[in-house]
Amino acid sequence: MSGSTLLWITLAMAVGTFLLRLSFIQFFADREVPPILERILRYVPSAAVSAIILPAIVYVNGTPDISLGNERLLAGAIALGVAMRTRSFPLTVGTGMAIFWVLRWLF
Amino acid sequence: MRQMNPRESFWAGAKEITPILMGIIPFGMISGITAVNVGIDRGTAMLMSVFVFAGASQLAAYQLIASGAVSFVIVYTALVVNLRFVVYSASIAPYFKPLSTPWKWIYAYLLTDQGYAISLIRFREDEDVDPLWYYLGASVLLWITWQIFSALGIFLGSAVPEHWGLDFAIPLTFMAVLVKSLDSRPSIIAALVGGLLATAAYNLPLNLGLIIGVLSGIMAGYWAEAAGRPRRGSDAS
């Protein structure tokens, strides 16, 4: 990706994110979030984060690999278990990376 | 209860955000390291950290840049990840009413998950603190910490060879984020539908799979909640 494309992406993200943050503080200070919008927004983090993670660990160079040979899938599954049990950010990332490196070194 | 003066309120905010910074430090470093590892030059990575100042959306963008997504989808996904700020903005807005417009912009720019969370808890608990100064103390300290450790990560990132696969830290970081959002049955359904559809449709052109996954996940969660709510008259047990 070219440097100028990355700059445009950065600019668009910066302006968009700022407007989301500013929205009610500046423009609708006297209004509440409509209940239906609030109910929809409740599920954005779960849906979006999961839609980003799962393809990133299932696909290897553009093809799905659901086998033990896919180190990211195996390490990711174990890390998910650690995340659910400990809810700890350093432990999740640490365990996941360690298993990933060991698997790559073994096979 | 004695009212805290501005300076005391500022330092109360700074003090109470401190334990949370232990999570911001590795998050900032991972963000910096992975930015450089997916091929973003140092200058742009630092601009991203300063001007976007929203770690989860930055990591989402880096992941998509690494997988060669189209620009529109990268921006779209980052902003979807940041939609939660609208809710924060609405619930904190009443406290920011006394501010002039330039200060409203600065306060809005500083809005984060962590700064928002500790401020609202404190504002609702007791009246002794000056909300505007408390928020500023917490947010400024968080901002400084994020920028320092992002910069450190960007600096270290160029020294880490790409074959180490440090970009794998992105999905791992998101897993820690994800489990915190899975606090109800509808949110688990939203995650399952979003993840599975995005994976199944991954090879569609223009990364449509991701957009389809996110939107269907949100709808699935919304409907699961509506279906799980007892209907009128049926909950008379």
Residue A43 has pLDDT above 80, yes or no: yes
| Structural domain ending residue among the three candidates B142, B166, B190 | B166
Which candidate, B205, B181, B8, B208, places its Cα nearest to that of A45? B181
| Structural domain ending residue among the three candidates B166, B190, B213 | B166
Q: Does B148 lie in the same domain as B45?
A: yes
Chain segment B147-156, per-residue pLDDT in tens: 999 999 999 9
Query: Looking up tokens 């440097």, which residue turns up?
Result: A3
Residue B63 domain-assigned (yes or no): yes
Q: Does B154 lie in the same domain as B91?
A: yes
Chain segment B66-83, per-residue pLDDT in tens: 988 999 999 999 999 999
Among all residues of chain A, which has the CA nearest to that of B47?
A10
Residue B184 has pLDDT above 50, yes or no: yes
Q: Does B202 lie in the same domain as B86?
A: no
Give Rg (Cα) of chain B.
20
pLDDT in the model for residue B231: 61
DSSP string, B183-197: -SHHHHHHHHHHHHH
Query: Looking up tokens 């921006």, which residue turns up?
Result: B75
| Structural domain ending residue among the three candidates B120, B137, B166 | B166
Interface of A with B in 48-87 (CB under 8 A): 48-59, 62, 64, 72, 75-76, 79-80, 83-84, 87
Domain ranges of chain A: 1-31, 34-106
Residue B130 in 3-state DSSP? coil
Chain segment B121-161, per-residue pLDDT in tens: 889 887 789 999 999 999 999 999 999 999 999 999 888 88
Q: Does B113 lie in the same domain as B154?
A: yes
Give the pLDDT band of residue B232 (cuts 50, 70, 90).
low
Domain interval for residue B32: 6-166
Q: How many domains does chain B have?
A: 2
The beta-carbon neighbor of A1 closest among B51, B60, B65 is B65
Interface of B with A in 161-180 (CB under 8 A): 164-166, 168-180
DSSP class of residue B231?
P
Residue B92 domain-assigned (yes or no): yes
Q: Does B81 lie in the same domain as B18?
A: yes
A101 contact partners, CB below 8 Å, separation of at least 6? B164, B165
